[in-house]
Structure 1
Amino acid sequence: MRSACYGGAEELPIPVVALLNLLFGIGFALVARDRVRADGPFTAPAFPLVMLHAAAVVAPIALYFYAVHPAWSWMYWVDPRKLAGVAVLPLMVGHAALVVGGWYLGAVAIRRGFQNTVIYAGAATALTLLVLFVAGSNRLFTAADYLGWQTRRGTSLFNVQLGWAFVVSLLALFGSAIYTAIELGRDGRRVRGAVIR
């Protein structure tokens, strides 16, 4: 089936989900800034909440997509048939590590008094994510295998199971991120309340 979903032939692959995970980590550090300033990046409940999001939500979603929809997960940049099946494990860990890495780097910078730098880094990451999303939306919203993409054959993402899996995953990812941010914010208020007393 020919698709009208394709853009220019030289369109680059887009690391949208990787940047999104990094952005979540940076955002979590900003929301938890009071706890981070008071106790550092590895204290409870902030760090366990971030780890829970990374390990229980981000890692399984990455594992599912790289194992079940590998060509799309690679954004048609790599032929997944040429990779060992075990390659999904470092990719799964890598996506979770981006959340934790964004958290850690943001927390360390905030603790050292560079909160504005963290805000600028988060804004730059969000802007880059937006530009790449718009520029590469053809890849993101086309379902095909690697050869199908190369020969410009594919279908809309939402004509196949992949589209609905993508929507459910985004809901889980953002739902978990919102819950984590709310809990980090509550913890920050407890820290501020303890300082005022």
Structure 2
Amino acid sequence: MEPDQTRPVLAVIIGSVRPGRIGPAFATWFTEVATRHNAFDVTTVDLAEIGLPFHDEPNHPKTGIYLHEHTRRWSRIVDATDAFVLVTPEYNYGYSPVLKNALDYLHREWVDKPVAFLGYGGVGAGTRAIQQLKQVVTTLRMVPIFEAVTVPFAPRELGHDGQVVPNPDRDTAAHAVLDELARLTAKLRGG
């Protein structure tokens, strides 16, 4: 059997649905950096658009038996993805409930896939949310990488137009994340 020659797919998941959220600006910035990096086919997944209700499947996610179309659609998206970047705000020293809900909906679709984090917040820069999420994703048998992008005082990092202002250190962190994701994705895909 010939190995798959297609480029791996990277999904940048926006982990907040709050009105007035700033996560989409950071996801757009990261997606642009990842596209230029050129190791992945990059897609952005907005949990606000996915619209998963609070976990409503009667069967355990490990069974893969999904009764609702929203779960089957989410399963197809995650299953078709090789690596992930979770764009997470920090709420009260933790991650957003909508992101946890999205992770909990599935099981086998996450297994053996690398995951990185882009955390944003106040003085903590999303680091506490990232540390908590690492416990969650390892239980799903995902492979979190060490490298991350963290954005302290995140609202200050946006211009008047709502776009992320240039920052060479943040770009360097993003490239380190992408390099490690590409390396690990190749190993986990058998490349």
The verdict on a shared fold, with TM-score over 0.5 as the criterion, is no
Higher helix share: 1
In terms of Rg, which structure is larger?
A: 1
Which is bigger in relative contact order (C-alpha 8 A, separation at least 6)? 1
Question: What TM-score, normalized by structure 1, do the two folds share?
Answer: 0.30
Identify the structure with the greater strand proportion: 2
Q: TM-score, normalised by structure 2?
A: 0.31
